[in-house]
Amino acid sequence: MGLKEKFKQFIDKSLYYPKWTCNVCGEEIFSDDYFCPNCKSQLSFISGPICDHCGRITLVPENYCHTCKGRLVSTEKARSVFDYKPPISSLIKGFKYDNKRYLLEFFAKELSFLYFKYFYDCEVITFVPMTLKSEKEREYNQSRLLAERLSEIVKTPCLALFEKVKETQRQATLNREERLKNLKGAFRLISRKQVKEKRILIVDDVSTTGTTAEILAQILNKAKAKSVCLLTLASVSTLNLENL
């Protein structure tokens, strides 16, 4: 690749694109928004009954749904902005894998609404780390971007509490037990001092089975955190988690 192309790619990648078209249908828009009114009305914001513990959509309000009962025991409470389904799922994939970093502002703002509602007394925000190798390949860690931007908006410090010391398989194809095994020993706490007696909020993009958060929360609880909560952009509904 010539220098000129490299430069062009750099500009393309680092530019926060202006919001001239709808991020879902591509239609031209004439307001300061990311979506046209029609697509915006179809975004899967979680608003109906949820499980109070894991924050996922349920048929009726529940304290502990069947997917988190006895399993997600290390987090005190979890909330997500969206139910993980199209078009939100493709927007998040674009943000995560396809360098659509201009969606950060929209996502972080939505996270901040839930932060002020449920997690306003948290003292430290943290994120799910990637191995140095993966982060170098992707050029950024989407979980870290979300946590850092949220931290700026809500004025609560964001600390890198963990490092990922083992490369793991992508979780998507694994069931819950395989996920736990896959993640065992993958994360290391950087400093116990920053955790002790603190209310900690883990920020991530998607919660599928919640295994990653569970593993991190176990480590934080062992280091005597006061509480550990989880805030994600999207979670998979309990209705779609039957087989996991």
How many residues bind Zn ion (CB under 5 A)? The answer is 11
Instruction: Spell out the residues 6+ positions from residue 85 whose beta carbon is closer than 8 angstroms to its own.
Output: 44, 237
Instruction: Spell out the residues 6+ positions from residue 201 whose beta carbon is closer than 8 angstroms to its own.
Output: 115, 119, 122, 124, 125, 126, 156, 228, 229, 230, 231
Task: Find the binder of Zn ion among 34, 36, 204, 209 (CB under 5 A).
Answer: 36
Task: Assess 225 for contact with Zn ion (CB under 5 A).
Answer: no
Task: Find the binder of Zn ion among 34, 46, 50, 51 (CB under 5 A).
Answer: 51
Region binding Zn ion by CB under 5 A among candidate stretches 15-23, 85-93, 139-147, 168-176: 15-23
Q: How many CB atoms lie within 10 A of CB 15?
A: 10
Please give the angle made by the CA atoms of 167, 56 and 243, to the nearest 5 degrees.
65
Nearest approach, Cβ of 236 to Zn ion (angstroms)? 11
Region binding Zn ion by CB under 5 A among candidate stretches 39-47, 81-89, 141-149, 151-159: 39-47
- In the DSSP assignment, the letter for residue 28 is B
Task: Assess 53 for contact with Zn ion (CB under 5 A).
Answer: yes
Q: How many CB atoms lie within 10 A of CB 2?
A: 7
- Extended strands (E) in 51-210: 77-83, 124-127, 162-164, 187-189, 199-207
Q: Which is nearer to Zn ion, 27 or 121 (CB)?
A: 27
Question: Taking CB under 5 A as the rule, which mask of x and - marks residues 16-35 in contact with Zn ion?
Answer: ------x-xx-x--------
> Could you say which residues in the range 65-94 bind Zn ion, by CB under 5 A?
65, 68
Binding residues for Zn ion (CB under 5 A): 22, 24-25, 27, 36, 39, 51, 53-54, 65, 68
